[in-house]
Amino acid sequence: MRYISTRGGTEPATFSGVLIDALAPDGGLYLPQTWPEATDWSGETSMASAAAGVLHLFAGQELPLDEAQELTEAAFASFRHPDVAPLKRLGDDHLLELFHGPTLAFKDVALQIIARLFERHLKARGGHLNVVVATSGDTGGAAVAALAGRENLSITVLHPHERISKVQRRFMTTTGAGNVLNLAVEGTFDDCQRIVKEMFADRAFTKEVRLGGVNSINWARVAAQASYYITSCAQLGGTAHFSVPTGNFGDVFAGYVAKKLGAPVGELIVAVNENDILDRTLRTGIYEKRGVTPTSSPSMDIEIASNFERLLFEAAGRDAGEVKRAMADLSAYGSFALESDVLDRIRDGFRSYKASEADVAELMAEVLESHGELIDPHTAIGLHAARKRREDGLSGPIVTLATAHPAKFPEAVQAATGQAPQLPGSEEELFREEERFDILPASTDAIKSAIRQHALLLF
Ligand SMILES: Cc1ncc(COP(=O)(O)O)c(C=O)c1O
Ligand SMILES: N[C@@H](CCOP(=O)(O)O)C(=O)O
């Protein structure tokens, strides 16, 4: 299996190459050169086995199946639930709980795997890697939990200053590990992501510090996340639709990948908060930036949905020219227009719904009252969209991805429900440990020099 860039400017790369590169050298995102033949996943109810199967499919002999299985079992050993991602029934709704990992969000699934893929790669090839990650709250914590203290790896996390929850921040800033650097950027998540992409675009810098990435720009992230779509369909015994709380479009794109691999994934519902750029795009065909508003679901306060580029490439018949045109328009004018045939192809598999802040609070309260369960604001947005879609006539099971534990957003959950969510287990220690982070302007040069200094201390 080889990988190509959505912008068409790179030689086909190997799975390891893509794992280490993260972003393609031409600024595009990697995708398999061709999709593998569809597989029958109907018996695949185990997360470790599904994830191993997917990784082996995409890596081929670079990661034999038995080694992949060992790796995914080790990755999920720290999860609090024996099923890793249990599927739960709530009246007419299905919730896929993806928050039983070390940092209580779905990001743990792929990050625990990627850390082990990196370690395996560095053991075989030598050298070190300075990982950089942009976060709107959850990827950062999951990456820190997965990489803190690992040999030959360092991690720098950029989060938007004062735009994430305290619990999210503490997951990143309290490890005390020497290989972790936290930078609070005076800007939005989109600024953090832009800075990461600008650093990757500077090939001299990338080589100098051996830059690595674990955001969903990294193909291995998206591939690993396809596994829970596969296990959900297997557990439900056939076709399932999915409602996905969406920001950077990585998770919902993983559903598209699972479908490409042969899993009976039905419709993919893009559930968004008041930062509704994706909903507007699916409705009008115009992707247009209007600025980001802070909401009670901060992880989804995103305007540049990085992985939409992968879908655009697919829907445009893999025309890299079309992708380059759209991305150039986005940076020059803050918007781009989809051709009508491209929009039709996207609408063929995807629908979108937006939840207001009032919808989110109302639904959190209703779920507590009707089912005695607390859900987090991101999950509430997914559930809201699933219910709307059912009202609009979609039949068959709709699985809502429960992407975070309610205790990551205690203020929002308590304000909506009157109940304070409890952190499971020893995470309460989070509030005893001292935080370590520096505040920096949203300047790529300032971040680069912080990374250089950190790397010099370590390697
Ligand atoms: C809790 C939570 N829900 C939903 C999302 C959105 O996922 P994606 O960015 O893959 O669209 C995120 C951020 O990634 C998140 O942290
Ligand atoms: N919501 C994310 C934003 C980064 O998304 P990623 O999937 O590209 O890592 C977060 O919580 O950090």
What is the pLDDT, as a whole number, of residue 200? Answer: 96
Nearest CA to ligand 2 atom 7: 216
Contact between 52 and 71 (Cβ < 8 Å): yes
Q: How far apart are CA 245 and CA 225, in angstroms?
A: 14
Q: Which of 409, 386, 385 is nearest to 104 (CA)?
A: 409
Q: Which ligand is nearest to the CA of 220?
A: 2
β pairing state of 180-186 and 438-441: parallel
Q: How far apart are CA 367 and CA 311, in angstroms?
A: 33
- The token pair that represents 180 in the structure block: 């972790």
What is the pLDDT, as a whole number, of residue 398? Answer: 98
- Rounded to 5 degrees, what angle do the CA atoms 135, 181, 331 make? 40
**Catalytic residue flag (residue 123):** no
Say if ligand 2 is within 6 A of residue 69 CB.
no
- Cα dihedral sign, 20-26-28-34: negative
H helix count then E strand count, the chain: 19, 15
- The token pair that represents 340 in the structure block: 């009508």
> What is the residue type of 97?
E
What is the pLDDT, as a whole number, of residue 427? Answer: 72
Regarding an ipTM greater than 0.95, the answer is yes
Ligand 2, pocket-test mutation among 135, 300, 302, most atoms within 8 A of CB: 135
Ligand 2, pocket-test mutation among 295, 299, 304, 307, most atoms within 8 A of CB: 299
Q: Which ligand is nearest to the CA of 214?
A: 2
DSSP 165: -
The DSSP bridge partners found for residue 186 are: 441
Q: Which of 91, 51, 93 is nearest to 75 (CA)?
A: 51
Collapsed DSSP state (helix, strand, coil) of residue 417: helix
- The token pair that represents 56 in the structure block: 């082996």
Collapsed DSSP state (helix, strand, coil) of residue 296: coil
- The token pair that represents 197 in the structure block: 């992409």
Which ligand 1 atom minimizes the distance to the CA of 225? 10
User: Which phi and psi angles does 360 have, rounded to 5°?
Assistant: -65, -50
The CATH number of the domain covering residues in 87-102+219-417? 3.40.50.1100
How distant, in Å, are the alpha carbons of 2, 118, 223, 305, 406 from that of 121?
17, 5, 17, 29, 35
How far is C-alpha 268 from the geometric centre of its chain's CA atoms?
16
Q: 126: how many CB neighbours lie within 10 A of its CB?
A: 8
How far is C-alpha 168 from the geometric centre of its chain's CA atoms?
15
Within 15-46, where are the H helices?
15-21
User: Which phi and psi angles does 104 have, rounded to 5°?
Assistant: 60, 35
What is the pLDDT, as a whole number, of residue 430? Answer: 87
Q: Which of 230, 212, 141, 194 is nearest to 331 (CA)?
A: 194
Which ligand 2 atom minimizes the distance to the CA of 138? 11
Domain map of the chain by residue range? 87-102+219-417
Pocket of ligand 1 (CB under 6 A): 105, 136-138, 216, 245-252, 299-300, 378, 403-404
Say if ligand 2 is within 6 A of residue 138 CB.
yes
Is the pTM above the cut of 0.90? yes
- Cα dihedral sign, 186-191-197-202: negative
User: Which phi and psi angles does 289 have, rounded to 5°?
Assistant: -70, 140
Gap from CA of 104 to ligand 2 centroid (Å): 14
Q: How far apart are CA 143 and CA 291, in angstroms?
A: 27
Gap from CA of 133 to ligand 1 centroid (Å): 14
Q: How far apart are CA 330 and CA 323, in angstroms?
A: 10
- The token pair that represents 92 in the structure block: 């007419």
Could you write out the DSSP letters of every residue in 113-137? HHHHHHHHHHHHH---EEEEEE-SS
Q: How far apart are CA 317 and CA 126, in angstroms?
A: 39
Nearest CA to ligand 1 atom 9: 248
Ligand 2, pocket-test mutation among 29, 139, 301, most atoms within 8 A of CB: 139
Q: Which ligand is nearest to the CA of 376?
A: 1
Q: Which of 46, 49, 50, 18 is nearest to 32 (CA)?
A: 18
Q: How far apart are CA 36 and CA 57, in angstroms?
A: 8
- The token pair that represents 41 in the structure block: 């996943």
Collapsed DSSP state (helix, strand, coil) of residue 459: coil
Which of 88, 107, 354, 388 is the catalytic position? 107
Within 23-165, where are the H helices?
47-59, 65-76, 107-125, 138-147
Low-confidence ranges of the chain (pLDDT < 50): none
Nearest CA to ligand 1 atom 12: 299
Say if ligand 2 is within 6 A of residue 137 CB.
yes
Q: 439: how many CB neighbours lie within 10 A of its CB?
A: 11
Q: 438: how many CB neighbours lie within 10 A of its CB?
A: 11
Say if ligand 2 is within 6 A of residue 250 CB.
yes
User: Which phi and psi angles does 84 have, rounded to 5°?
Assistant: 65, -60
What is the pLDDT, as a whole number, of residue 185? Answer: 98
